[in-house]
Amino acid sequence: MTSLVNVSKSAIVTRGSRGSRVAFGIGAAVAFLLFFAPTIFGNSVTNNLTQFFILLIMAIGWNLAAGYGGMVSIGHQAFIGFASYAVLDLSIHGILAWYCVPLAIILAGLVSIPVSFLAFRLRGGYFAIGTWVIAQVFQLVIAQQSNLGGGAGASLNDLNNLNPITRDNITYWFALGLTLVALGVTGLLLRSKVGMALVAVRDEEFSAAATGVNVVRTKRLVFVLSAAICGGAGSLLILSNLEVQPDSSFSIQYSAFMIFMVLVGGIGSFEGPIIGAIIFFALQQSLASYGAWYLVILGAFAIAVTLWLPRGIWGAIDPHHRRSIVPLRYRLRASKDDLSISDRAID
Amino acid sequence: MIWTNAVVQGLLLGGLYAIFACGLSLMFGVMRLVNLAHGDLGVLGAYFSIILVEHLGGNPLWTFAAVIPVAAFVGYFLQRFLLDHALNGGELSPILVTFGISIIIENLLQQTFGANDQSLNIGSLSYQSWKITSDIYVGRLNVIIFVAAVLVIVGLQFFLSKSRTGLALRATADNRRAASLSGINPKRTRAVATAIALATVAVGGLFLAMRTSFSPTSGTSDLLFAFEAVIIGGLGNLWGTLIGGLVLGVAQTIGSQINPADGILIGDLVFLAVLAFRPQGLIASRNLANR
Confidence of residue A330 (pLDDT cuts 50, 70, 90): low
Name the pLDDT band for B21 (thresholds 50, 70, 90). Answer: very high
Interface test with A, best of B96, B218, B256, B272 (most A CBs within 10 A): B96
Give the residue-averaged pLDDT of A102-128. Answer: 92
- Beta carbons of B12 and B143 less than 8 angstroms apart: yes
pLDDT digits (tens, 9 = 90+) for B229-271: 999 988 878 889 999 999 999 999 999 999 888 889 999 999 9
Interface test with B, best of A129, A251, A267 (most B CBs within 10 A): A129
Residue B264 forms contact with A (CB below 8 Å): yes
Give the one of B86, B107, B268 whose C-beta lies nearest to A133's C-beta.
B268
Report, as an integer, the average pLDDT of B26-55. 92
Higher-pLDDT residue of A194 and B19 is B19
Contacts of A62 (CB under 8 A, 6+ apart): A73, A76, A226, A230, A255, A258, A259, A261, A262, A273
The span from the CA of B230 to the CA of B202, in Å, is 18
Residues of B in contact with A204 (CB under 8 A): none
Q: What's the CATH number for B2-277?
A: 1.10.3470
Average pLDDT of the segment spanning B172-188:
87
Nearest chain B residue to A263 by CA: give it: B96
Q: Which segments of chain A does DSSP mark as H helices, in order?
A: 2-5, 18-34, 37-41, 43-63, 77-92, 97-119, 124-143, 164-191, 193-203, 205-210, 215-241, 246-249, 253-265, 272-287, 292-308, 312-317
pLDDT at position A2, please?
A: 44
pLDDT at A347 over 60: no
CB B289 within 8 A of CB B29: yes
Q: What is the model's pLDDT at position A336?
A: 54
In the predicted model, is pLDDT for residue B120 greater than 90? no
pLDDT > 90: what percent of chain A? Answer: 43
Does residue B139 sit at the A interface (CB-CB below 8 Å)?
Answer: no
pLDDT surpassing 60 at residue B112: yes
Instruction: Specify burial of residue A248 (Cβ count, 10 A radius: 0-12, 13-18, 19+).
Output: middle
Shortest distance, CA A188 to any CA of chain B (angstroms): 25
Question: Mean pLDDT, to the nearest integer, of A23-30?
Answer: 83
Set of chain A residues whose Cβ sits within 8 Å of the Cβ of B223 = 129
Number of other CB atoms surrounding residue B57 within 10 Å: 8
Residue B104: what pLDDT?
A: 95
Per-residue pLDDT of B52-75, as tens digits, reads 998 998 888 898 999 999 999 999
Which residues of chain A lie closer than 8 angstroms to B271, CB-CB? Answer: 133
- DSSP code of residue A250: T
- pLDDT(B78) > 60: yes
Amino acid residing at A320: H
- pLDDT band of residue B125 (cuts 50, 70, 90) is confident
Say if residue A291's pLDDT is above 80.
no
Q: Residue A23: what pLDDT?
A: 77
Neighbours of A1 (CB within 10 A): 6
For chain B, give every domain's residue range: 2-277
Q: Do A307 and B220 touch (CB under 8 A)?
A: no
Q: Considering CB atoms only, which of B85, B91, B269 is closest to A307?
A: B85
Residue B219 contacts residue B204 (beta carbons within 8 Å):
no
The yes-or-no verdict on residue A272 having pLDDT over 60 is: yes
> Which residues of chain A neighbour B224 with C-beta distances below 8 Å?
129, 132-133, 136
Pairwise CB contact (< 8 Å): B96 & A132: no
Q: What is the pLDDT of residue B279?
A: 83
Residue A6 pLDDT greater than 80, yes or no? no
Of A73, A150, A156, nearest to A115 by C-alpha is: A73
CB-based contact A296 B107, cutoff 8 Å: yes
Please check whether residue B51 touches A, CB under 8 A: no
Give the per-residue pLDDT at B10: 93
Residue A347, SS3 per DSSP: coil
Higher pLDDT, A25 or A107: A107
Size of interface A-B (CB pairs under 8 A): 125
pLDDT level of residue A329 (50, 70, 90 thresholds) = low
Separation of alpha carbons A71 and A202, rounded Å: 9
Per the CB < 8 A criterion, the answer to whether A81 and A249 are in contact is: yes
Closest chain B residue by Cα to residue A290: B111
Q: What is the pLDDT of residue B281?
A: 84
What confidence category does residue A1 fall into, taking pLDDT thresholds of 50, 70 and 90?
A: very low
Whether B265 sits inside 8 A of A302 (CB atoms) is no
Q: Residue A50: which residues within 8 A CB-CB, separation 6 or more?
A: A168, A171, A172, A175, A236, A240
Residue B45 confidence (pLDDT) above 90: yes
Report whether pLDDT(A5) > 80: no
Give chain A positions within 8 Å (CB) of B103: 256, 295-296, 298-299, 302
Cβ–Cβ contacts within 10 Å for residue B127, how many?
Answer: 10
Q: Cβ distance B222 to B20 under 8 Å?
A: yes
Q: Cβ atoms within 10 A of the Cβ of A294, count?
A: 16
**CA torsion, points A202, A205, A210, A212, in degrees to nearest 10?**
50
C-alpha distances (whole Å) from B34 to each of A128, A136, B41, B194, B280 are 9, 19, 13, 11, 17
pLDDT of residue A325: 65
> Quick check: B28 contacting A, CB < 8 Å?
yes
List, for residues A179-208, the tens digit of each pLDDT value.
999 999 998 888 888 888 887 887 788 888
Contact A141 B111 (CB under 8 A): no
C-alpha distances in Å from residue B267, one per residue of A79, A227, B17 = 21, 25, 12
Mean pLDDT calculated for residue range A277-295: 86
Fill in the amino acid letter for B223. Answer: L
- A339 pLDDT higher than 60: no
Can you tell me whether residue B228 is helix, strand or coil? helix
> Under an 8 A CB cutoff, do B224 and A117 touch?
no
Burial pattern B92-102, b for ≥16 Cβ within 10 A else e, equals bbbbbbbbbbb
Listing DSSP states for A49-85 in one string gives: HHHHHHHHHHHHHHHIIIIIT----S-THHHHHHHHH
B86 and A306 within 8 Å at the Cβ level: the answer is yes
The answer to whether residue B225 neighbours chain A at the CB level (below 8 Å) is no
CB atoms near residue B73 (< 10 Å) = 13
Q: Between chains, do B93 and A72 touch, taking CB under 8 Å as contact?
A: no
Listed residue (A49, A281, A48) closest to A177, CA to CA: A49
Q: Do B271 and A122 touch (CB under 8 A)?
A: no
Q: Does B111 touch chain A (CB under 8 A)?
A: yes
**Per-residue burial over B153-189, b = 16 or more CB atoms within 10 Å of its CB, e = otherwise:** beebbeebeeeebbebbbbbbeebeebbeeebebeeb
- Nearest-Cα distance to chain A for B28, in Å, is 9
Shortest Cα–Cα distance, A308 to chain B (Å): 9
Assess B95–A contact: CB distance below 8 Å, yes or no. yes
Rounded Cα distance between B290 and B184, Å, is 18
Kindly list the residues from chain B whose CB atom is less than 8 angstroms away from the CB atom of residue A143: 261
Strand stretches in chain B, DSSP E = 129-131, 137-139
What is the structure's pLDDT at A180?
94
**Collapsed DSSP state (helix, strand, coil) of residue A1:** coil
Measured in degrees and rounded to the nearest 5, phi and psi for residue A11 equal -65, 150
Q: What is the dihedral of CA A60, A63, A64, A65, to 10 degrees?
A: 130
Helix A215-241 and helix A43-63, axial crossing angle in degrees, nearest 10 = 160
User: Are A136 and B96 an interchain contact pair (Cβ–Cβ within 8 Å)?
Assistant: no
* C-alpha torsion angle, residues B285, B286, B290, B291 (rounded to 10): -20
> How sure is the predictor about A220, in pLDDT bands with cuts at 50, 70 and 90?
very high
Q: Which domains does chain A have, with CATH numbers?
A: 16-345 (1.10.3470)
Please indicate whether, in this complex, the C-beta atoms of A293 and B111 are within 8 angstroms of each other. yes
Least confident of A88-97, A170-179, B125-134, B196-205: B125-134
pLDDT-wise least confident of A179-193, A301-315, A332-346: A332-346
**Chain A interface residues facing chain B, Cβ-Cβ under 8 Å?**
66, 70, 72, 74, 117-118, 121-122, 124-126, 128-130, 132-134, 136-137, 140-141, 143-144, 252, 255-256, 259, 263, 267, 291-293, 295-296, 298-300, 302-303, 306-307, 310
Nearest-angstrom CA–CA distance, A202 and A213: 12
Q: What is the mean pLDDT of residues A279-303?
A: 86
Specify the pLDDT at position A61.
96
Q: How far is A306 from chain B (nearest CA, A)?
A: 6
